[in-house]
Structure 1
Amino acid sequence: MSAAHTHVVVIGGGISGLAAAHRLVEGGARVTLVEASDRLGGKLKAGSVAGVPVDLGAESMLARRPEAVALARAVGLGERLQPPAVGGATVWSRGAQRPMPTGHMMGVPGDLSALAASGVVSPEGLARIARDADLPPTEIGDDIAIGAYVGERLGREVVDRLVEPLLGGVYAGDAYRISLRTAMPQLFEAARTHPSLIAAVRALQARSAARQPAGPVFMGIDGGIGQLPLAVADRLRAAGAEILTRTRADEVRRTGAAWEVRLPDRTLTADALVVAAPAPEARRLLATVAPGAATELATVEYASMALITMAFRRSDAGGLPRSSGFLVPPVEGRKIKASTFASHKWGWIADAGPETFVLRTSIGRFGDEEDLEREDTDLVAASLKDLGDAVGLAATPVESRVDRWYAGLPQYPVGHLGRVARIRAHVAALPGLRVCGAAYDGVGIPACVAGAHTAADEILATLTPGAGPGE
């Protein structure tokens, strides 16, 4: 069977499903994409506040990985890619805004002088970190929680005040549960050969400096990252793909050599199927055809959070630091976990609202989600209270909005890679079936795109004998 005569159904219209559909169409397949909600994009969502366009979900993508930037260029957004206008995030630690120290890997320090100069960690905490070189090697086995490993080597203070807020920004998770092997695989491997954690970080940094391409670390898109799924969908439609929103896949089943996807009003017949839905929905769909995968998917946990976006008169926000925002360690006991000064960080937001200053805060993380049930006005008030204490902001927003992302980010606990391998083994036993999404290989946009491309390439290879990935 050639790809030109292949019909593939993709279930899930987030960036993973869209990227998989795009790859399949490029490979010559006919695609039907099914999305249960009324919009595409998943956690990528464009909107506005006080007439200024903003992102209401993810706001940037890692540019040091090529997949997401390449997809943006492929769908015509290349000229709209923008790096942050300013960097220099701070950490609200020990009662003050302190510069984010240089020379760290996701908060794990390599440059102790920079860490000391930042003031993020106390003198006692610095003294504890210095003991790393004299400690016996730590047994990490097949996997270990980041917080447990870093805490044993460097002490809890560096975990609580630096690693936790940085990991929280990526996973909205708990450093004492997140897998080192999954979230920081290079450090996991280096830790196997370096008895000192500081030495392992420095070795990785030296290797990275020699290989790292020039250019920004992160990229945004003029108009918001939320423009990316819309642009991908436009390309899919132009290529003849069928996109169904507000359409829930009720059931999938294998009939002979084909797949059937039962929708509320009809049944689709396909040669192959990509399930790009979140873990709970993937579990429901695969319960009958791949019960082993469904059992594993039932163990995936998610964190929920709220993003509070506020617009102020620029004249009222003139005293804010010229930075991209700040992180808040959970041990500070505050409601907000971070704040982004969007009008500083993104030139396109500043240009769109020259008299307006937009910022956003985040509330909620894994195991700390009760506040999400409070009224919008309460979350705005809590944000303003912390902003006042953190940076002296005393203004009242001219407009605000709260977006709750329930089950927004899957968690990667110790053993996550083994779970993913088992899911994929169960799925691979069925011809023409693949899964992809944030629940598997990474929560960032490039990781989601990469996983989607792998799923699509494997489908195309199985349907086109002799074809390799991307052919």
Structure 2
Amino acid sequence: MSGSHAGDGRRVVVIGAGIAGLAAAHRLVRRGARVTVLEASERVGGKLLPGEIAGARVDLGAESLLARRPEAVGLAREVGLADRLQPPATTTASLWTRGALRPMPKGHVMGVPGTAAALAGLLSDEGLARIERDADLPRTEVGDDVAVGAYVAARLGREVVDRLVEPLLGGVYAGDAYRISMRSAVPQLFAAARTHTSLTEAVREIQAQSTASARTGPVFMGIAGGVGTLPLAVAASLRAHGAEILTGTPVTGLRRAPEDGWRVTAGGRVLHADAVVVAVPAPAAARLLRAEAPGAAVELAGVEYASMALVTLAYRRAETDLPEGSGFLVPPVDGHTIKASTFASRKWGWIADENPDLVVLRTSVGRHGETEILRHDDADLVEVSRHDLRAATGLAATPVDARVTRWQDGLPQYPVGHQARVARVREHLAGLAGLAVCGAAYDGVGVPACIASAYAAADQVHGDLRAVRQLTADPVQSLHGGAGE
């Protein structure tokens, strides 16, 4: 491999420069490895994408970080963004349901309520009564896994799923609540369901535990200038520490080297590495692993993805009068096209401060299995977004600018059995020293989960490299053990 690297550590190739690949590289560089990152596209960052609209800086991909997990905010601080971390200016959100914007209820776990109180207007009288009957129902077994929608509907009725759970889960996974794994998507609820007869009682206990833990600080965090600046800062830090990042360099081959380590074919050349981290979406990982780990490749090829589009709109502030709050979610059962809208200028103080004469908002369209709407051209997606916004909020002004960002196969789906699939992937890879996988396809689609996955992969290959060094330095002791064994 070419390029100047700090330190005398082992050589590691990271395939993929999304936030997972960059985080893995960052971890490895800090531990003395000489790292080359290979990225097929012309930019780093993956689903984190900074951009502009009407001269305003915005995110065109993920816009917030879950702050109650340490990985994302911790990485931001490590790469010099500590003074730009900002919580949302408002966290009050609504549901656009039954013809009106209604406040999002409190006291729920991913839309699953602990009580029927405060749900009037969101649910019918029959739906409210159905929740109250939960305590009288016999236990519903969850087994090794169960679909969130199926379990909640059995306990509380389909109306709770269709009008509360579905819009929240859809905002995270762009998926179908009746297919999404409760074990993977809502693990707290899955664990509680295994020990509680009543679902509402389990939700209340989770809420009580959350309150008792006395967690302080915001639930979510943004970054002034956009969350899309995080991968740029990580990449800059990597380069400053001697790592090499090659964009426009698709990897076409990954094989174990006959002598030792791995051979990576990319950009018309072959690179030798002591270890490799594969940080690309599941279909691309499947292609790369087919030769050396065919079982893992088969499993990864079966991971489904949802496509979506984000429509970002800028309006003159003098012509715009939005409802209070940070935006709203949309239950699919109501038949609207958009699935959510974020009032970005209201949610993020830095956008409002930088652009006092503009109001920026965005909508999202597309769920798993909804392919027809995404065949429309950009102008159509802008128009349908404006139509739904007008119906929901009364916003009739003409935007001064609009941008459509399409995320083809952007979100991996976590159906029932997803954790078992991931476990099988890792079992197939267990015998391949110096090789690890990470990213959104495994242990969570959020930015902190992707970074945690990256750190685990980096730690794994780092441990493999240490074992090789120890074996090389003292093969007798390494093979037969030291004193006392």
Specify the TM-score bucket, using the shorter chain as the normaliser: over 0.9
- Deviations along 1:301-330, one digit per CA (max 9) or x if unpaired, are 00000000000000111x211210000000
- What does residue 280 of structure 1 align with? 283
* Alignment of structure 1 residues 396-435 onto 2, 5 Å: 396-435=398-437
* Alignment of structure 1 residues 380-391 onto 2, 5 Å: 380-391=382-393
* C-alpha separation in 2, matches of 1:5 and 1:221: 33
- What does residue 251 of structure 1 align with? 253
**DSSP 3-state at the match of 1:303:** strand
**DSSP 3-state at the match of 1:308:** strand
- What does residue 313 of structure 2 align with? 310
Aligned 8 A contact 2:115 2:131 in 1: no
Aligned 8 A contact 1:161 1:331 in 2: yes
**DSSP 3-state at the match of 1:114:** coil
Residue identity in the other structure for 2:336:
R
Match of 1:69 among 67, 73, 79: 73
Runs of 4+ displaced beyond 2 Å: none
Tell me if 1:183 matches 2:192.
no
RMSD over aligned CA atoms reads 1.1
* C-alpha separation in 1, matches of 2:153 and 2:17: 39
Aligned 8 A contact 1:12 1:277 in 2: yes
* C-alpha separation in 2, matches of 1:351 and 1:364: 31
* Alignment of structure 1 residues 67-216 onto 2, 5 Å: 67-116=71-120, 119-216=121-218
Q: State the 1:114 CA deviation.
A: 2.6
- What does residue 359 of structure 2 align with? 357
Q: State the 1:241 CA deviation.
A: 0.3
Aligned 8 A contact 1:103 1:114 in 2: no
* C-alpha separation in 1, matches of 2:8 and 2:464: 13
Tell me if 1:270 matches 2:270.
no
* C-alpha separation in 2, matches of 1:112 and 1:321: 26
- Deviations along 1:372-415, one digit per CA (max 9) or x if unpaired, are 11011111110011011100000110000100000000000000
Q: State the 1:86 CA deviation.
A: 1.0
TM-score norm. by structure 1 comes to 0.97
- What does residue 349 of structure 2 align with? 347
Residue identity in the other structure for 1:299:
G
- What does residue 475 of structure 2 align with? none
Q: State the 1:112 CA deviation.
A: 2.5
Aligned 8 A contact 2:146 2:181 in 1: yes
Q: State the 1:466 CA deviation.
A: 10
* C-alpha separation in 2, matches of 1:264 and 1:53: 33
Aligned 8 A contact 1:302 1:411 in 2: yes
How many residues get paired?
A: 462
Residue identity in the other structure for 2:26:
H
Residue identity in the other structure for 1:451:
S
* C-alpha separation in 2, matches of 1:176 and 1:212: 33
More moved, 151-160 vs 255-264:
255-264
Q: State the 1:231 CA deviation.
A: 0.1
Identical amino acids, percent of aligned pairs: 67
* C-alpha separation in 1, matches of 2:266 and 2:468: 33
Aligned 8 A contact 2:315 2:360 in 1: yes
- What does residue 459 of structure 2 align with? 457
- What does residue 473 of structure 2 align with? none
* C-alpha separation in 1, matches of 2:267 and 2:176: 39
More moved, 424-433 vs 19-28:
424-433
Aligned 8 A contact 1:171 1:409 in 2: yes
* C-alpha separation in 1, matches of 2:315 and 2:99: 25
* C-alpha separation in 1, matches of 2:8 and 2:342: 46
Residue identity in the other structure for 1:236:
L
Residue identity in the other structure for 2:370:
D
Residue identity in the other structure for 1:306:
A
Structure 1, unpaired ranges of 5+: none
Match of 1:54 among 29, 54, 58: 58
Aligned 8 A contact 1:165 1:330 in 2: yes
* C-alpha separation in 2, matches of 1:380 and 1:249: 36
Residue identity in the other structure for 2:110:
M
* C-alpha separation in 1, matches of 2:144 and 2:104: 31
1:466–1:272 Cα change, 3 Å = closer
**DSSP 3-state at the match of 2:118:** helix
- What does residue 45 of structure 2 align with? 41
- What does residue 293 of structure 1 align with? 296
* C-alpha separation in 2, matches of 1:58 and 1:264: 29
Aligned 8 A contact 2:115 2:132 in 1: no
Aligned 8 A contact 2:438 2:457 in 1: yes
* C-alpha separation in 1, matches of 2:430 and 2:372: 39
* C-alpha separation in 1, matches of 2:467 and 2:37: 24
* C-alpha separation in 2, matches of 1:27 and 1:410: 30
Residue identity in the other structure for 1:257:
D
**DSSP 3-state at the match of 2:36:** strand
* C-alpha separation in 1, matches of 2:454 and 2:317: 41
Residue identity in the other structure for 1:239:
H
* C-alpha separation in 1, matches of 2:215 and 2:76: 19
**DSSP 3-state at the match of 1:58:** coil
Tell me if 1:21 matches 2:22.
no
Q: State the 1:5 CA deviation.
A: 2.6
**DSSP 3-state at the match of 1:250:** strand
Q: State the 1:212 CA deviation.
A: 4.2
* C-alpha separation in 1, matches of 2:439 and 2:365: 24
Q: State the 1:181 CA deviation.
A: 0.6
Q: State the 1:38 CA deviation.
A: 0.4
